[in-house]
Structure 1
Amino acid sequence: MASLPEELALLAHDDTTGRDRSGGHLELGLAGAVLYELALAGRVGVESGKVRVLDPAPTGDAVVDAGLAAIGADKPRIARVAVERTAKGLKRTVLDALVARGALRHERGKALGLFPLNRYLPQIPDPKADARARLSAAARTGRAFDDRTKALLSLVSAIRIDAVAFPDRASRPSRKELKAMGGDSWVGEAVRKAVSHKDAASAAAASSGGGA
C-alpha cells in the first residue's frame, strides 16, 4: 500500500506528459501528507497552537519517520510553519523512492532546448489506480469512507490538483465540494495557508521586480 505522500505525488503528475501539475505547490502538499500520516498514527498533534510530538516511536516509513524526527528536534511551530519546514527537499525524496520502487520512470530533458525538464511517467500499469478509485468513490457518494481518503481529498484541494486527480471533467467535484469532503483538519488548513503564503510571497517578489 502506498503512503499518502506517494499517492499525492502520483496524482500530481500528468499521466501523458509526466509533468508536475501542482503549480509549484507539490512539496507543501507532500509535507502535509507526512503530517497527516503522523497525526493519523497518533505521533503528532496541535497543543497550545503549536505542532508537537505526542509519541516519538517510529512508524516504519522512512520518509514519515524523518519528518517525525525533524519535528521532534525542532522547537514547536505553528502548523503552517511546520508544513513549510517539513517540505524542504521532500519532493525529490518521494519521487526518487517511487522511481526506485518501479512505480515511475524518470526522464530528463530540456524545455525550449534550454531549461532542465523532469518527467515522471507511469512505469507499471496505473500505479495511482487505488488512489483514484477511492477519490472517485468519494466523488460519487459525496463523502470519504476512511480517514486516509479524507486526507488525500483535503490535500488535492489544498494544492489545487483537482484537474489531474479527477481527469474526467464530468465527474470532477468542485473545489468547494472537495474541501468539504476532506473535512476540517488542522493539517489541511495548514497546507492551504502555506500555499497562500507562498503565492503571496511570489506575487510580492514579482511586483517588486516589475517596478524596478
Structure 2
Amino acid sequence: MTLIAEDLLLILLDDDTGTLSHSDKIQPLLGGALLVELALAERIEVAEKTSIWSSAKVAVVEHEPLEDTLFDPLLDQALATIAEKPRTAQDLVNRLGKGAKDLLLERLAERGLVRPVEDKVWGLFPRTTWPAADRTYEDSVRALLQGALVQGLTPTPRTSGLVALLTAVGHAHKVVDRGDVPAKVVKARAKEISEGAWAAKAVKDAVAAAQAAVTAAVVASTTGAAVASS
C-alpha cells in the first residue's frame, strides 16, 4: 500500500515529462501528507492551546512503531520527530517534508510506478525527471478523486485527506476531468470535502491543522519569492 504522500506525488507528476507541479511547495505538502496519514491512523492529535498567546501543538497519541498493517519507516520516523517536543503543525510540515521527495520518488520507482530519466537543462544542468512507468495505480487514485469531486460520490477518509492537501495549493480542480462542470463547482466540492464531517473530531482537527499549515507555508514561500524579486 502506498502512502498518501506517494499518491500525492503521483498526482502532481506529469506522466509524460516526469516534471512536478508545485515543485517549490512540495516540502510542506509532503510533510502535510505525512501528518494526514498519521492523523488517519489516529496516532497524532492537536493538543488544546494552553493560553491565548500560544499556538496549538501536535502530539503523539501513543509513540511506538505502527502496527504491521500500517508500519512504514518514514511514518515511524515522523512519529519520533513529533514525539521529541511539542511543535506546531506549521513547523512540522516543513520539518517532516525535508528530504521526503527524493526518498518517495525512489520508492515509487522501486515499485515500477515511475522511472528515473537523467538529462540536462539547456545541456548544462543535470536533472532527474520521473515519467510514469505504470499508470494503473495512479489511474485508480484519480478515479477516486474524479468520483468525489465531479460525480459527487462519498469519498473515503484517505481520499478526503488527499483532497484537503490538493485544496491547500489550489490544485484539486486540476487533477480531474471536469467535463462540463465549471471549475468553481469542483473547487466548492473540494472545499466541502476538506471541511466535511468525514472523520472523528480529533482526526479531523489534525487534518485541518495540517492543511492550514501547508497553506501558510505556501503563502510564506510565495510572499518571500515576491519580495526577493522586487
Normalised to the residue count of structure 1, the TM-score between the two structures is 0.88
Q: Secondary structure at the match of 2:2?
A: coil
Does 2:229 correspond to 1:206? yes
Corresponding residue of 2:205? none
| Residues 56 and 68, structure 1, Cα contact 8 Å, conserved in 2 | yes
Which one of 131, 138, 149 corresponds to residue 121 of structure 1? 131
State the 1:139 CA deviation.
1.4
Alignment of 1:1-212 (within 5 A): 1-47=1-47, 48=49, 49-59=56-66, 60-73=71-84, 75-142=85-152, 144-162=154-172, 165-166=175-176, 170=180, 174-183=186-195, 185-207=208-230
Pair 1:175–1:164, CA change in 2 (3 A): closer
- Over the aligned positions, Cα root-mean-square deviation in angstroms equals 2.0
Aligned residue type for 2:27: E
Equivalences, count: 206
| Residues 27 and 93, structure 2, Cα contact 8 Å, conserved in 1 | no
Q: Secondary structure at the match of 1:76?
A: coil
Q: How far apart, in 2, do the equivalents of 1:170 and 1:87 lie?
A: 36
Normalised to the residue count of structure 2, the TM-score between the two structures is 0.81
Pair 1:174–1:168, CA change in 2 (3 A): closer
State the 1:119 CA deviation.
1.2
| Residues 173 and 187, structure 2, Cα contact 8 Å, conserved in 1 | no
Aligned residue type for 1:57: E
Q: How far apart, in 2, do the equivalents of 1:145 and 1:114 lie?
A: 45
Q: Secondary structure at the match of 1:109?
A: strand
State the 1:23 CA deviation.
4.1
Corresponding residue of 1:210? none
Structure 1 runs (4+) deviating above 6 angstroms are: none
Q: Percent identity?
A: 32
Q: How far apart, in 1, do the equivalents of 2:112 and 2:20 lie?
A: 18
| Residues 31 and 94, structure 2, Cα contact 8 Å, conserved in 1 | yes
How big is each residue's C-alpha offset from its partner over 1:155-196, in whole Å with a ceiling of 9 and x where there is no partner? 112133346522556456543432322226222111111111
Pair 1:26–1:166, CA change in 2 (3 A): farther
